[in-house]
Structure 1
Amino acid sequence: MQRFAYTCLFASVIWSLFSCSAREQQDLDLSEAVILISPQMKETVQKTAKKILIEEIEKRTSKSLKTGRDWNSKLTVALTLASADSLYGKTVPIRIGPHAVEQKREGYRIFHEKEGDRNTLWVIGADIRGIYYGIGKLLRTVRMSEGKISLDADIDFSESPQYALRGHQFGYRNTANSWDAWTVEQFDQHFREQVLFGANAFENIPCQKGNSSPHFKVDPQVMEVELSKICEKYGVDYWVWTPAPRDLTEPGAHQEGLETQEAFYARCPRLDAVFVPGGDPGENHPSDLIPYLEDLSKILKEYHPEAGIWVSLQGFNKEKVTYFFDYLDKNSPDWLRGLVYGPSSPPIALERELLPEKYMHRFYPDITHTIRCHYPVENWDQAFALTLGREPCNPQPEMYTRLFQRDSPYTDGFITYSDGTHDDINKVMWSQLGWDPGKAPATIVAEYTRFFFGAEVGEEAARGIFALEENWDGPILENPAIEKTLALWKRLEAANPQLSGNWRWQQLLMRAYYDAYIRDRLAFEKELEAKAYEILGQADSIGADQAMSKALQHLQKADTDPVSQELKEKVLAYAEMLFQSIGAQSSVEKYQASGAERGAVLDFIDYPLNNRWWLEDEFAKIRQFESEAEKLARLDFIRSYESPGEGSFYDNISSADVRHVTSKTNDAIDFLWENNGISRKRLSTQLFQFTPTLEYDELDPESDYLIRVSGFGEALLRANGQRLTPSKYQKGYEEFKEFPLPGELISEGKLKISFDKPDEEHLNWRQQSRVTDVWVIRQ
């Protein structure tokens, strides 16, 4: 129902944004417009505003607008501050009162004024940022094509942002999957584009070693200063993310951290905020961290008097959280500007409630990752998790709109966590929702595609972005959207060769081909596995060894006779284009990505989507058995692993197509990551939950049942609320716990299975108990 509503809204927005034939006579033709810029603004601001407007229009139209100092043109684009009385002798039409949002901080108004045969398009900003944001809205609204620039003649639009802080992290470091390959010029353009979509802050991760990335084109200590200059150029805040030394109790660590930071502050021309995470990384107790922050604030004030210190409570346990807030209540330090809420912080509503009003509350949402993260993809198929991994191109306008509206009201704004270009659309979504949380996703995406791809392409490209998000909704083999999405992007690809060098275009097309390739592989490899089990079913007649050999030969067709190689070749081609255009590192070996989780989607594009690796290993073990009977028994168990027989049930706990699991994880920790993602375990073993719940309503009250559980560690199982006693209790992976189910608990044929959480808070989540598979087996 919600998707239908979005579709209807999308259609109406697209119609209003892109249909122009009925209103052509009402359009303003800006192709010969002259730009007037208020001389009351600083000369550097005038220069930047003019440069943005002229350059961005010329890129898209080949028309270079002129600037002037009089009103002789038939159409004038006038840029001025709301505080100005006049512009080159003409009175500036200023509104007053509560509805004059161009008077509010960062607000602006764009409207058309007609006087006889003279037309003026006013862009009035409350301040310098308001001017830039007004230019951004104008550029996102005008219809531009070769030699043509037009706009609705009746435009009168104004807005001011609801959230004071709207920014994104751009860490110039090796772990980013693309930033470390960028030049100063690329960052300048990208920051400009982010400002045009409403961002007002950028956060770097300074103090990187010069040899830490093979992709650096600029020394990181030079780049961190250049990023500061770019922020000053566009009048936005420059933040830095600077963890404390990992253990402040070590001799000299406190002072070493201060000295490193001071050296950076001294060479940085603009710095507005320093964010020190309390954890991730860093495990310092607040009793050690707070003195460090206080000393850091004194040094910061020497070089940047208006800058502030921020800290997060990421990874803090209850005792640390209590200590920190007790300190704030008792001391009310002025050196602290605010608190940052990030992944693994205390609950966001609780943190806001405990934080004294004098401090700001900044959000640090993770919009860059898909699994093992703050905001995992909802209802994602395991095949995508195994292949696309943690940092693929991930446009999710609908999901992030819901999450923004849910969590942001507890904050004063945000700087998102990002580690590359793959989440570009998500950045724009957050920037625009920071202006207006009620803005429709379709409106934002339509402006994105219009601006970056052109008005003639924008409508269908916007549909394509929503289609890519729909690709990820539920079991792949039950999702007809994937085929339709590829067809849509193929049409766009063929019809728009002029966009082939556009990196945003490249990564969207690469995703469409990648999704379709994984769909085809999954269907093929599931068929191969099903056929292999049929062969194993003949083991009694043909012998265990021959059955294993024939089954393996069939499974190996995934490698010897692979499907849809034309789709894979398109993925590889676009990966190369992205490396050339923006340094996107989609492979550790080929493109020197810093790690397998850092956008290395090519390294997993052929990862098995059936259990053939596990079966190869199991067959090798079985061949060592002494008797044929043992071999046959084990093969029968393998063949029926997910098919326990009529009247019995099996669930792969976190699979997208489970029947009985009613619980979901609140983090993407239901995907096991080991050996850099190259695990040979059963696919079901690589999905888990800590305390799942399952419900059944089709049990036979007259039958006896056994509940079997696989996973790791403890499994404190309850059936309809009653803790059961196990008859078998093995704790290793691919081992089993078995619980006889008392008949009186299912007198109505219904069963709810739940698990109590063991006392394991002292353990890292990777060592905590989890459940991977559950069977209810009719005896």
Structure 2
Amino acid sequence: MKTRLNSWLVCIIATTLLACTEENPKILDLSQANIIISPQIKTPVQETAGNILVEEIEKRTKLQLPINTDGNSKTNIALVLASEQESFGLKVPIREGQDIPELKKEGYRILHEVEGDKNTLWIIGADERGILYGIGKLLRTVKMSEGRITLAANTDFSEAPEYALRGHQFGYRNTANSWDAWTVEQFEQHFREQILFGANSFENIPFQEPTSSPHFKVDPQIMEVELSKICQKYDANYWVWTPAPHDLAIENAHEEGLAEQEAFYARCPRLDAVFVPGGDPGENHPSLLIPYLKDLHGILKKYHPQAGIWVSLQGFNKEKVDYFFKYLEENKPDWLKGLVYGPSSPPIKLEREMLPKKYMHRFYPDITHTVRCHYPVENWDQAYALTLGREPINPQPLMYTKLFNRDSPYTDGFITYSDGSHDDVNKVLWSQLGWDSQKDPKTIIQEYTQFFFGPGVAKEAATGIFALEENWDGPILENKTIKETLALWKKLEESQPNLANNWRWQQLILRAYYDAYIQDRLAYEKSLEAEAYDILANANTIGAEEAMNRAMQHLKKADTHKVSQDLKEKVFVYGEKLYQSIGAQTSVEKYGARSAERGAILDFIDHPLNNRWWLEDEFKKIETLKTEKEKLARLDFIRNYEFPGEGSFYDNISSADARHVTSKTDDAIDFLWENDGLSRKRLSTQLFQFTPTLEYRDLDPASNYLIRVSGYGEALLRANGQRLKPTKYEKGFEEFKEFPLPKDLIKDGHLKISFDKPDEEHLNWRKQSRVTDVWLIKQQ
């Protein structure tokens, strides 16, 4: 016992840097550390690196670590390059071998060495960027609290990025739902934070008119240069997204486009890449676009000799794609740096296969949208699509990890498409997966919460982020997670008042309240609709007019007797907080969002989640019918729309609770957007797929069945592979097509329904045929 006590005393007295217990690992205390920076690190990164360490530590600990030029302190954080053998009178611990991360481009090593009573925490970078990424890893993993900063002793960690290109688009424009309200200082801090999580590129969208946003605090032509300066300061690549003139066939359009670009190039202190989308926007044929790009490259080289031209094939048809790749094969142009894969480009695998190896392949994934986009939310309930819309706060670490690993291997890296701060979690996830695609998303998110919220709350907050993603999985009324998620975030909200002004914290808590409010409102409004149908069932007794009046009065309770207003009020509180903290525009009227589709979630929080608008319009139509019999028949049809009777089935094609639908849309254009999101069509009409598949089992082979389809345009239906002939074929919204089902096709009681895609590539997707509702009706 005495020997053990002496051992404890030795640990306590020997050093304040190491905490020695049997229960806990040894701890390196960096609270009194000295920062020493090798003079071999080039400016401006030398100065930037020191500022990052000092400032980010001070924000979280109120400690201001000194920067000195020697290594005489007992505890040092030493920033050096892997090319150095000795620095500050200390031997730099460089390893030899073929696969050493800190010797690879942008790689680094963090190593704790003890020599006598001296502790050195080395951050060894393969290059200047490696230094910054090593600092990022350190700041993400140290434990910081007021007056204290600690790290596990004997730390030895190294890595180099898996993907060469890791970045995000930050368009300073009114289309974004927050950035147009930012200052230069806010952008610098945000770019710094993205670098600390592994990003190396930022893409702006220049040429914005100063009057295009009421939120601009800086003239956009000044900001586009300031963003270039920030990238220069942090040694990050500065990209710009600059479409070609809309129609290069117009006289002088080519020359005018080049002149505008040249003036911009001349203003930028740093510019690394120019991305010209081939479409979205832009409808130019490659025979016109290619000469423009070639001339653009010549101008770019005058001002930025190392910069490159990139182009995408977005919206190209087969003829345009073939033309482009034939040109590359025959001419092998050196002026082209690489090809960008974005939404509506040829398939990513095919594009990589067709692209000559001398050209890089950049990914342009959409991580910012939820519907009508590249990556839809899987199994998303329509109530969220109607209320949260296209640009809500959308942390989805599990979904995007899966999609990253599905698509990124065909590329050399990515610059994501983003239009605001609402996808902040997704940006960090992509940056870190760019370093190591096998990294556990739980580790990434916990580093995120520890860095931005602190170690005391990191684990619970990370759990809360994954819970928010689970809120979006499947039918809302069957999701028990939603209330548990709210309880978790309410607990965090109450226990962490110090985070009340943290905009990332505000976003996550807002979402928890919003989701819970929508769940309560959906349950309530669905019950009102069901009760309204019960009223309509008495129409034969009380008359059609009276039944409609009573049903409508009952449905209006959704507006006059609202539920869970305490939850709604909290959403609005956090909407205001976000506007004050980062200029987030969650409402068109209240906060000046550019449009209803641009993150205006407050404007849709009470959007009808039942069919009361549609029913109101239908009742008005019924009132014009001539006879009571016609009115009663129409009311009976409406009441039984989703309930075709025993032995029959109905499916709202893209609803999260569809029971027989086996397909999923792969690009989320399954939600009809019209009238600025205030469509009065039946809710099922607002969901669709172009070519859905459905499957039924245990049908009665002795019975006759009728397949009824609603949607828009064509419906080329097959039953168990056989094309069926319709007996009714209406093409408008909320009209019907009917197909008798031959008995010999379901002898085994099994039926698969599919739809051939009509030749409609010449049409905008909004005009293409789609399917919204399918009934399999057993004939009596």
* CA shift digits 1:402-457 (9 cap, x unpaired): 11111111000110000000000100001000000000000000000000000001
1:521 aligns with 2:521: yes
Aligned to 2:752: 752
1:42 aligns with 2:42: yes
Structure 2 contact 25–152 (Cα < 8 Å) conserved: no
How far is 1:744 from its partner?
1.8
Aligned to 2:539: 539
How far is 1:242 from its partner?
0.1
Aligned to 1:458: 458
Distance of 1:483 and 1:173 partners within structure 2: 37
Distance of 2:40 and 2:750 partners within structure 1: 76
Give the gaps of 5 or more residues in structure 2.
1-18
How far is 1:24 from its partner?
4.7
Distance of 2:655 and 2:340 partners within structure 1: 34
Report 1:346-365 matches (<5 A).
346-365=346-365
1:695 aligns with 2:695: yes
1:85 aligns with 2:90: no
1:373 aligns with 2:405: no
Aligned to 1:8: none
Distance of 1:20 and 1:283 partners within structure 2: 68
Please tell me the residue identity of whatever aligns with 1:723: R
Aligned to 2:236: 236
How far is 1:743 from its partner?
1.7
> What secondary structure, in the 3-state scheme, does the structure 1 residue paired with 2:291 have?
helix
Aligned to 1:530: 530
How far is 1:223 from its partner?
0.2
How far is 1:751 from its partner?
1.3
How far is 1:654 from its partner?
0.5
Please tell me the residue identity of whatever aligns with 1:122: W
Aligned to 2:51: 51
Aligned to 1:108: 108
Please tell me the residue identity of whatever aligns with 1:199: A
Aligned to 1:415: 415
Aligned to 2:12: none
Report 1:304-453 matches (<5 A).
304-453=304-453
Aligned to 2:276: 276
Distance of 1:70 and 1:659 partners within structure 2: 70
Could you list the structure 1 runs, at least 4 aligned residues long, displaced by more than 4 angstroms after superposition: 19-25
Report 1:565-604 matches (<5 A).
565-604=565-604
Aligned to 2:637: 637
* CA shift digits 1:462-494 (9 cap, x unpaired): 000000000001000111010100000000000
Please tell me the residue identity of whatever aligns with 2:643: S
1:772 aligns with 2:779: no
> What secondary structure, in the 3-state scheme, does the structure 1 residue paired with 2:457 have?
helix
How far is 1:44 from its partner?
2.8
Please tell me the residue identity of whatever aligns with 1:206: P
Please tell me the residue identity of whatever aligns with 2:95: R
Q: Please give the TM-score of this superposition, normalised by the length of structure 1.
A: 0.97
Distance of 1:748 and 1:335 partners within structure 2: 62
How far is 1:43 from its partner?
4.4
Aligned to 1:628: 628
How far is 1:21 from its partner?
8.8
Report 1:699-718 matches (<5 A).
699-718=699-718
Aligned to 2:648: 648
> What secondary structure, in the 3-state scheme, does the structure 1 residue paired with 2:580 have?
helix
* CA shift digits 1:689-734 (9 cap, x unpaired): 1111111112211211111110011111111222111111111000
1:226 aligns with 2:213: no
> What secondary structure, in the 3-state scheme, does the structure 1 residue paired with 2:702 have?
coil
* CA shift digits 1:631-659 (9 cap, x unpaired): 10000000000000111110000100011
Aligned to 2:192: 192
Please tell me the residue identity of whatever aligns with 2:48: T
Please tell me the residue identity of whatever aligns with 1:540: N
Distance of 2:332 and 2:411 partners within structure 1: 20
> What secondary structure, in the 3-state scheme, does the structure 1 residue paired with 2:739 have?
strand
Distance of 1:448 and 1:20 partners within structure 2: 28
Please tell me the residue identity of whatever aligns with 2:238: Y
Larger deviation: 46-55 or 456-465? 46-55
How far is 1:41 from its partner?
1.9
Distance of 1:328 and 1:25 partners within structure 2: 58
> What secondary structure, in the 3-state scheme, does the structure 2 residue paired with 1:224 have?
helix
How far is 1:20 from its partner?
12
Distance of 2:634 and 2:48 partners within structure 1: 73
* CA shift digits 1:487-507 (9 cap, x unpaired): 000000000000000000000
How far is 1:676 from its partner?
1.0
Distance of 1:715 and 1:671 partners within structure 2: 18
Distance of 1:177 and 1:97 partners within structure 2: 48
Please tell me the residue identity of whatever aligns with 1:663: S
How far is 1:60 from its partner?
0.4
Q: Please give the TM-score of this superposition, normalised by the length of structure 2.
A: 0.97
Aligned to 2:16: none
Structure 2 contact 110–134 (Cα < 8 Å) conserved: yes
* CA shift digits 1:44-89 (9 cap, x unpaired): 3222111100100000011111122223321111111111121122
Aligned to 1:669: 669
Structure 2 contact 34–66 (Cα < 8 Å) conserved: yes
* CA shift digits 1:87-124 (9 cap, x unpaired): 12222111121242111110000010001111110011
Larger deviation: 609-618 or 63-72? 63-72
How far is 1:251 from its partner?
1.2
Structure 2 contact 36–69 (Cα < 8 Å) conserved: yes
Distance of 2:566 and 2:442 partners within structure 1: 32
Aligned to 1:172: 172
Change (3 A) 1:22 1:559: farther
* CA shift digits 1:319-357 (9 cap, x unpaired): 000000000000000000000000100000100000001
C-alpha RMSD of matched pairs (Å):
1.1
Distance of 2:112 and 2:247 partners within structure 1: 60
Distance of 2:748 and 2:365 partners within structure 1: 45
Give the gaps of 5 or more residues in structure 1.
1-18
Larger deviation: 292-301 or 24-33? 24-33
Larger deviation: 96-105 or 448-457? 96-105
Report 1:225-304 matches (<5 A).
225-304=225-304
Aligned to 1:728: 728
Structure 2 contact 663–693 (Cα < 8 Å) conserved: yes
Aligned to 1:6: none
Aligned length: 761
1:203 aligns with 2:203: yes
How far is 1:42 from its partner?
2.8
Structure 2 contact 71–89 (Cα < 8 Å) conserved: no
Structure 2 contact 20–26 (Cα < 8 Å) conserved: no
Structure 2 contact 707–738 (Cα < 8 Å) conserved: yes
Aligned to 2:719: 719
Please tell me the residue identity of whatever aligns with 2:102: E
Change (3 A) 1:740 1:336: same
Distance of 1:178 and 1:206 partners within structure 2: 16
> What secondary structure, in the 3-state scheme, does the structure 1 residue paired with 2:151 have?
strand
> What secondary structure, in the 3-state scheme, does the structure 1 residue paired with 2:456 have?
helix
Please tell me the residue identity of whatever aligns with 2:471: N
How far is 1:25 from its partner?
6.0
Please tell me the residue identity of whatever aligns with 2:292: Y
Larger deviation: 176-185 or 33-42? 33-42
Structure 2 contact 394–423 (Cα < 8 Å) conserved: yes
Aligned to 1:492: 492
> What secondary structure, in the 3-state scheme, does the structure 2 residue paired with 1:456 have?
coil
Distance of 2:740 and 2:227 partners within structure 1: 64
Aligned to 2:15: none
Larger deviation: 20-29 or 277-286? 20-29
* CA shift digits 1:577-631 (9 cap, x unpaired): 0001000011111111111111111111110000000000001111111211111
1:504 aligns with 2:514: no
Aligned to 1:14: none
